Structure 1
Amino acid sequence: MEDERVPEERMRASDADRDATAERLATALAEGRLRLDEYEERLHAAMSAVHLGDLAALTADLPEPAPAAVPAVEEEPDAPAATALGPAPSAWKEWTDEWRWWLGGAVIMTGIWGVTSIMGGALLPYWPLVPLGIWAAILVAAAIWPDESSDSRR
């Protein structure tokens, strides 16, 4: 019995095949390889393609996509210790991240204070000062006094 399979270009295209072609066309548009009108025309053709050969024809004049760059995992030596100049860089980043959270909390609490003042018809006392002041004092204290995990007597 003879193998009756059709050639690959005549195989039916799946939604995943159409989506992959659409992504490749979008990449080509972003790289400047296609004009917007060409992209739209090819995208429409890709979404209505029936066979794999129809999809291949849409990207035949485009270079193969570059393989996705996988960032190399570099093993860092022990993190630099804190010096007299200040905390270690990773500790500094953590500290600034904590201040970003503080700022977000400040924006939210000030927004609530503003809305309640408007709804009340009068300027209410600025109550966010209390929780924000306590939070800020904790952040400053954490920067001044190191915790047990940064013990330099290892």
Structure 2
Amino acid sequence: MGEQQSDDRADGPALVRVSDAERQETAERLKLAHDEGRLSLIEYDQRLQGAFAATVRRDLDVLLADLPVVRRTDLPTVRAETAEVEKAEAQREYLKEWRSWAGTAVLLTGIWMVTAIASDDGLPFFWPIFPIGIWGAVLLANLFWGDD
């Protein structure tokens, strides 16, 4: 029994159970190999079935053993996910900028209101229009002509 345990430890990572994400990544690598002409359609189909039936790391390693190593970032799905994450981050930053604009607009309008109430000459010129308007115009321009 002690001998069996030492054999399991020697294989270590090869016997670790794989996740759905790892199976999907292997499927993407196989598709890339097929697209490059490294696998026939029959080989691709057999290996793809093996990828989705895999339970441990060794099962996936066998499917990729005779294929060149591909960086994870070169896989089409990973590139698409990275682009989506970057786009979502850019949208969050853009909304954050609008929140800052709105907070400043409220603050400047409040200052203007206090000075208008304190003034005996009626309503003074609405000077906050300049910083609020220019900043808002820049944000709108960024929406239409900003970096993609």
Tell me the TM-score normalized by structure 2.
0.42
| Higher relative helix content | 2
Which TM-score applies when normalising by structure 1? Answer: 0.40
